[in-house]
Amino acid sequence: MPAAMRVGVLGFGGLGQAAARVLVPKQEMRLVAAADKNGYVHAAEGLDASSCITTYQSQGSLGYLEPYGKISTESIEELIASGCPVDGYFLALPNLPNDFIASVAKQFIKLGWRGVLVDAIKRTSAVEQLLGMKAELEAAGITYMTGCGATPGLLTAAAALAAQSYTEIHQVEITFGVGIANWEAYRATIREDIAHMPGYSVEAARAMTDAEVEALLDKTNGILTLENMEHADDVMLELAGICDRDRVTVGGVVDTRNPKKPLSTNVKITGRTFEGKISTHIFTLGDETSMAANVCGPAFGYLKAGIQLHKRGIHGIFTAAEIMPQFVR
């Protein structure tokens, strides 16, 4: 069997920790590096997910993990500069401000790192910034997979697949339901969702204190209802030649006080077949699957696909709508 792919996870909040757990039973991938805002750790022989999670939750940073952890406010830069061998990183980082992930990609380029990066970024404008870096990423020898979470990600890819039955795509409608027991497990996700609400912006949501987020959630009974979100599924489907971006809509309901989903996440793809029939395909996720399962699974599937492209010398940037994720065994 070929050596396991060496994986790093940047950001160790809700999604980063779930990503570490997703990798535990995998033969083909091994977690060798992880970083949070205050520290990082790497070990070529692999990191133990439960020790990482316990240390992060009890002490606030992976930097306290014995014996390899390091405390640092420049954790990402130091981790990359350490030269520890990593085939690909999952960027489970908040995209606050809206150009944060693009700035992290620039750091990788500046430090001469080569390999695969995958993000689960959400906003159209954020994905567009990364798409604009195509030539730089290509020149740097980086294969960057963008929009590879659930939405955008799994649902966008499902739309791209479903579109094959039609000669003309009329509408792609994504509706997600997320249930989490408490918002603090996914602070960035919730702040970024609040940024889509009328009267808020990315900057306003970023500036909110935890107490302010709680006060807002108290007013809505813990529920966030989101409509016509600026979601990159639109630019990704447009770029893949499937339909114009204005045909794609994304909205959903997030319950921050109950792990049960308030509604079943689905994508409806309406189009016309070559015979002139109008029809709708519907792809619905199982209600038992969590947001974390539907983000981290695809992210690693795209990471594996990215590693295969990278080995073939194919660099630059790809979206979840143009490449098939590869199942990680």
| Closer Cβ to ligand NAD, 189 or 270, answer by number | 189
Give which of 250, 267, 260, 274 is closest to 222, Cα–Cα. 260
Cα 149 from Cα 295, distance rounded (Å): 4
Cα 250 from Cα 313, distance rounded (Å): 35
Known catalytic membership, residue 66:
no
| Closer Cβ to ligand NAD, 270 or 319, answer by number | 319
Residue 201 C-alpha from the chain's centroid: 20
Is residue 252 close enough to count as binding ligand NAD by CB under 6 A? no
Which residue of the set 70, 196, 304, 310 is catalytic? 196
Angle at 24 between CA 20 and CA 30, to 5 degrees: 80
Is residue 157 close enough to count as binding ligand NAD by CB under 6 A? no
Cα 101 from Cα 103, distance rounded (Å): 5
Give the three-class secondary structure for 303.
helix
CB of 85 to ligand NAD, least distance (A): 20
* Sole binder of ligand NAD in the list 5, 20, 32, 76 (CB under 6 A): 76
Cα 319 from Cα 329, distance rounded (Å): 22
* Sole binder of ligand NAD in the list 151, 156, 175, 265 (CB under 6 A): 151
Q: Which two tokens stand for residue 315?
A: 């660099």
| Closer Cβ to ligand NAD, 153 or 316, answer by number | 153
Is residue 255 close enough to count as binding ligand NAD by CB under 6 A? no
Kindly state the greatest CA–CA separation across the chain.
65
* Sole binder of ligand NAD in the list 120, 195, 216, 226 (CB under 6 A): 120
Which residue of the set 122, 231, 261, 310 is catalytic? 122
Cα 235 from Cα 233, distance rounded (Å): 6
Site for ligand NAD in 188-217 (CB under 6 A): 188-189, 192
* Sole binder of ligand NAD in the list 186, 300, 302, 318 (CB under 6 A): 186
Which residue of the set 42, 192, 304, 315 is catalytic? 192
What are the strands, taking DSSP E only, across 285-322? Answer: 316-319
Q: Which stretch binds ligand NAD (CB under 6 A): 63-71, 151-159, 252-260, 264-272?
A: 151-159
Contact 22, 55 (CB under 8 A): no
Site for ligand NAD in 17-56 (CB under 6 A): 35-37
Is residue 177 close enough to count as binding ligand NAD by CB under 6 A? no
| Closer Cβ to ligand NAD, 127 or 269, answer by number | 127
Known catalytic membership, residue 170:
no
Alpha helix positions (H), 141-186: 154-162
Contact 232, 153 (CB under 8 A): no
HSE-CB at 18 with a 13 A cutoff on CA atoms is 21
Contacts of 169 (CB under 8 A, 6+ apart): 163, 242, 243, 247, 269, 270, 271
Is residue 95 close enough to count as binding ligand NAD by CB under 6 A? yes
Known catalytic membership, residue 196:
yes
| Closer Cβ to ligand NAD, 169 or 250, answer by number | 250
Is residue 242 close enough to count as binding ligand NAD by CB under 6 A? no
Q: Which residues are catalytic?
A: 122, 192, 196
Residues that bind ligand NAD (CB under 6 A): 10-16, 35-37, 75-76, 92-95, 120, 122, 149-153, 186-189, 192, 291, 295
